[in-house]
Structure formats: C-alpha cells, structure tokens
Amino acid sequence: MIWIIITASVTLILSGYFGHQRLFYLHQLSLRRIGFSAVIALSVFSLLLVLFRLRIMSEGVGAAIITNTYASLAGFFGGSALNQYRTKASSGEILYAHRSFLTDHAAVIMAIGIILFGIYRSSLFNDLAITPIRVTSGLSFIAFGLWGMTLRLVPEFRSKGIIILDHVIKWDDFLNYSWFYEEVIEVEYEEDETIRSFKTYIPPADQLEVEDLLRSKMMEKVEEDSIIN
C-alpha cells in the first residue's frame, strides 16, 4: 500500500501543476473533443476490467491505477481552482454582473453538495475503512466542487477585463459591442489574432449601465491608441 500512496502523491502534485498552468479552457472544448475523450476513457476502463476478469492484472495493480486516476483528477481540478481564484483576484473589482439566484446561489449550492459528498466518500468521518482509493476519490470530488465554486454562469465585467467562466478577456482585447436582440448584447474581442464574440443577457434596467461601461472602455482604448501613435 505504501507504493500506491507514494505514486498517488506524485501524481497529485504533477497533475496539480498542470492544472494550475491551464493547458485548456472551457471555451476550447467541443462536443467532438468531449466525445473522443469519453471513448478513450471508456475503452481504457473496459480493457482494464477485462484484464482483471481474466486475472492477467492483479488486484494491487488495479487499485494503483484507480487510485492514481482519482489523484490526477483531484490534482488537476485543485490546480485549476487555485489558478481561477488567483485570476479573479488579479482581475480587479466587479464593475457589473447580472445577479440572480441561479447564477449566484444555485451553482454554489451544487458545488457545496459535491464537496460534502467528497468528504463523505473519503471515509474520513465514517466507519468505513480508510483506503487510498476512497481518499483520492473523495479528494477528486472536493477539488471538482472547489473548481465549480470559482465559476459563474454569467460574464463578470471587472476593472481589468471580462471573465467568462474560466476565461479572461482583457480590456485591451475588447473591440466592440452591439445589441444582438433587445435584451441580448454581443461583445467582440480579439484572441490569437482572431476576432471572436460572446452574447449575454442584460436586463432592461441594467442596459444603460452596461452601455456606459463598454462605451467608456472603448474611449479609453481609443485615447491610449492615439497617445501611442
């Protein structure tokens, strides 16, 4: 069991590092990539199950693989959560965000529920035997819940940029805005030398505030460009 704990600890640290480096963001995911990843994961799991049923793979090796898989998930989501928290802290104060029960409280309640389940799953506070698999699986749920608590379903317009889920658009990359529908605004920005956009709902009572904010940011950018030129 000691070698399982050692390998799981190393996996946890390495995956935490890569998670903190943010190798990808949610907006980069697609149904094709998700489906392809799911097929690979199911194929590997099925192969391991077959090897175990045929007694080609021992129970100890299977336990080590499962433990390290949970440890990698815990580290990745834990590192991503820390990175996201630091990103929010460095993005300045919130200038505007559409607040509602669904966007503010419902997501947090779900995340807290996942964290509590992770604590229960770890067997640290019940009568079940504490094993590396239970501990790492519990940590994976806890880390996923913490990561979920850093996300918001609506864009946050902050003093240094716009945060969309786990992605930050700096005001220097902001290009333009327009009303896509009566209560839906479309914001254009530049990323990787490509013009992109996102749409979000703005209540009628907040539309003037958002327009004033975006207009002022556009004027600041024009003034900065004129000074540079």
The residue behind tokens 């902050």 is: 158
CATH of the domain at 175: 2.30.29.30
Is position 217 within any domain? yes
Is 179 contained in some domain? Answer: yes
pTM: 0.82
| Domain total of the chain | 1
pLDDT at 185 over 70: yes
- DSSP state for residue 205 in the 8-state scheme: G
Asked if residue 12 belongs to a domain, the reply is no
- Residue 229 — pLDDT band, cuts 50, 70, 90? low
Name the DSSP letter for residue 199.
Answer: E
Measuring CA to CA, which residue among 145, 26, 4, 23 is closest to residue 74? Answer: 145
State residue 112's pLDDT score. Answer: 92
With 80 as the cut, is the pLDDT of residue 223 above it? no
Residue 94 lies in a domain: no
Residue 115 pLDDT greater than 90, yes or no: yes
Q: In DSSP terms, which residues pair with 111 in a beta bridge?
A: none
Which residue range(s) make up the domain with 179?
Answer: 156-228
Instruction: Give the residue, 183 or 62, on which the prediction is more confident.
Output: 183
The confidence score (pLDDT) of residue 77 equals: 93
The 10 Å Cβ neighbour count of residue 17 is: 12
In a domain? residue 161: yes
Helix axes 2-21, 132-149, angle to 10 degrees: 10
Range list of β-strands (E), 115-193: 156-158, 161-164, 167-170, 174-181, 184-191
**Residue 91 in domain:** no
Q: Long-range contact list for 107-114, CB < 8 A, 24+ apart?
A: 107/148, 107/149, 107/151, 107/152, 107/153, 108/149, 110/148, 111/145, 111/146, 111/148, 111/149, 112/145, 112/149, 113/145, 114/141, 114/142, 114/144, 114/145, 114/148
- pLDDT of 103 reads 72
Assigned domain for 209 exists: yes
